Structure 1
Amino acid sequence: MIWLLSVFLWLLHWLPFRAVALLGKVLGSLLYSVAGRRRRVGATNLQLCFPHLSDAERAQLLRRHFQLMATAMLEYGYCWYAPATRLRQLVRVEGMQHLDALKDQPVILFAGHFVGLEIGGLRLSADVPMMDLYTRQSNAGLDARLAAIRGRFGGRLVVRTEGVRPMIKGLREGLRLYYLPDQDYGPRDAEFLPFFGVKAATITGMSRLARVSGAAVVPCFVYRELDGYRLVLDAPLANFPSDDAVADALRMNTELEARIRLAPEQYFWLHKRFKTRPEGEARFYGD
């Protein structure tokens, strides 16, 4: 099956960006209709985070999100096969001066689960020495393929279960850590902090990792546009980390919210972000 997927994505990577977007729109609309379980997760998240929107507005936003998620999956063809020159054309980078100014300092790239996270991280690795956290796949063939793709421009992969030591080592060697701390990883090492006004299990790892390694934290967010992506590197977070890891995690959520509001349809709403609840609180997803 992996070879069939490989052939399919190889064919797709020859298509123009807008043609893939059109295919993704069709596929995403179909998935929105048939993927009832994930649609309900997304609808719950949007109701919690955007209660001021009408039901129709949230449904329209979620349908568009399905279309963009499907498009991003089809764009794996670019990630798997497009040369660096093509990726540089597809993903425009803004704010590289912030990284250049930190060339002698460890850097954590604070990112979020947007539809462009995969192509954005790969694009950056074509010009910047990168380190990426990786979750093992149950299918050995797919696992090997994904690992090879993510590291095809020399980036280093760190398996999540290996802990923080490989990350600290890589940061001190000058690798830039592509770090996405915005999902529900369970109650361990997490605090219940507001995310769009709703208590969410929020890890404090970015603050602790920055403190131990001496790394600057640079916001790094990818936005899909009509003819490509725009990867924005902002100035390093001032006074981060502080002496309070919980306050840092709250600030992290606030920074993330501001980026999501710029393109809410592009954020990954199909993840059960509020699955872990404080003791005694009812579950949101019926599981």
Structure 2
Amino acid sequence: MTDTRNDYDPTAYNPEFGRHYLAPKHWGTWLAILLGIPLALSPNRFRVWIAKKAATYLVKKRRGSIYKAWYNLSICFPEKSDAERNAILHRCLTIAGAYLLGFASLSLRSRRWFQRNSVIHGIENLTQYTDNDEKVILLVPHTWAIDIGAILLASHGLPVVGFTNAQRNPLLDYLMHRQRVQYGGRIYDRSAGIKAFIKAIRQGYLGYYLPDQDHGPDNSVFVDFFATTKATLPGLGKLKKLCRAHVVPITSTYNIETGQYEVRILPAVTDIPSGDETQDARRMNQYIEEMLADDPAQYMWILKLFKTQPDGKDPYIGH
């Protein structure tokens, strides 16, 4: 794509700022933003210290999001002891806290700061295609720093297209959206359907494909995921064909030791499509497993990853 591209699409998700965001009902959000700015600009070590304290408290709880994370870890890693799973959960919550406390810095700091505090490993696995104007779909697992890959690539002139679900708080939703597209790119509401996504990829945008959430029984097949079975989207092979694109796995993580954002781009997928959508879905899950193998705590284990079950029972209900 060129620097003269026009990212605006009237059918895309384009929330706009309005005077109603200054109404009293939003004052609490503005106060939280003002209080959060010093934290976002504070040293990584301080944010990690706060996050560790919070994680120590939260990990003792087994309800709500913490229960979901514990349940997910227990069925994905049955070979690990409670102490080992507890350590993953504690590190997961620490990464989440430190990253989220500094999340606003992506808007408060400059492009130069962002790029200097980010590391891209394996960029050649992507540019070998983009340099030749070949289409690419990025296979992206739900790590805590999931937005980083899209924003960082856009800052280097490689904008992405993705989907979003609007946040309940419209003011925060507006601010998050502006941050996500500050260097370019397009975001569509999920209700827009897949056609707009495919069209943008064909126009040269990198498709930000996040297939690891539970999309219900009607849209999924049941295949292995770690040591259990998960309802999984089966359409990656078909999407690859429709877009005439390469599928490139990518992970975005936050290094709490260095305070840097790290993006890892792996060699393109070559065994999808195989001609069997169920087999493709399983292979896609294997790619996600491989991307998380070195540091599973980077993953959003709090998601309802296994809500859809063959027997129709939701394992998260009542917790």
Instruction: Give the TM bin, normalised by the shorter chain.
Output: over 0.9
1:26 CA displacement: 2.2
Give the stretch that moved more between structures: 189-198 or 112-121: 112-121
Runs of at least 5 residues in structure 1 that lack an aligned partner in the other structure: none
Distance (Å, rounded) in 2 between the aligned partners of 1:129 and 1:229: 18
User: TM-score by structure 2 length?
Assistant: 0.84
Question: Are 1:111 and 2:111 an aligned pair?
Answer: no
Q: 1:34 to 1:250 in 2, by over 3 A?
A: closer
Alignment of 1:4-153 (within 5 A): 4-33=31-60, 36-103=63-130, 104-127=133-156, 128-153=158-183
Runs of at least 5 residues in structure 2 that lack an aligned partner in the other structure: 1-27
Q: Supply the RMSD in Å over aligned alpha carbons.
A: 1.8
Q: 1:215 to 1:232 in 2, by over 3 A?
A: same
Equivalent residue letter for 2:31: L
Given that 1:46 and 1:269 are in contact with CA atoms closer than 8 Å, whether structure 2 keeps it comes out as yes
Q: 1:80 to 1:23 in 2, by over 3 A?
A: farther
Given that 2:164 and 2:188 are in contact with CA atoms closer than 8 Å, whether structure 1 keeps it comes out as yes
Distance (Å, rounded) in 2 between the aligned partners of 1:283 and 1:134: 24
Given that 2:99 and 2:254 are in contact with CA atoms closer than 8 Å, whether structure 1 keeps it comes out as no
The secondary structure found in structure 1 opposite 2:217 is coil
Equivalent in the alignment of 1:285: 316
Given that 2:142 and 2:299 are in contact with CA atoms closer than 8 Å, whether structure 1 keeps it comes out as yes
192, 199, 204: which one aligns with 1:169: 199
Equivalent in the alignment of 1:193: 223
Distance (Å, rounded) in 2 between the aligned partners of 1:113 and 1:58: 19
Q: 1:80 to 1:188 in 2, by over 3 A?
A: farther
Distance (Å, rounded) in 2 between the aligned partners of 1:282 and 1:35: 20
Task: Report the structure number with the largest CA radius of gyration.
Answer: 2
User: TM-score by structure 1 length?
Assistant: 0.93
Distance (Å, rounded) in 2 between the aligned partners of 1:36 and 1:189: 28
Q: Which runs of 4+ in 1 moved over 4 A?
A: none
1:65 CA displacement: 1.3
Q: Percent identity?
A: 30
The superposition leaves residues 129-167 of structure 1 with CA deviations (integer Å, 9 ceiling, x where unpaired) of: 211211112222222222111111112111111111111
Distance (Å, rounded) in 2 between the aligned partners of 1:58 and 1:189: 31
Q: How many residues align?
A: 286
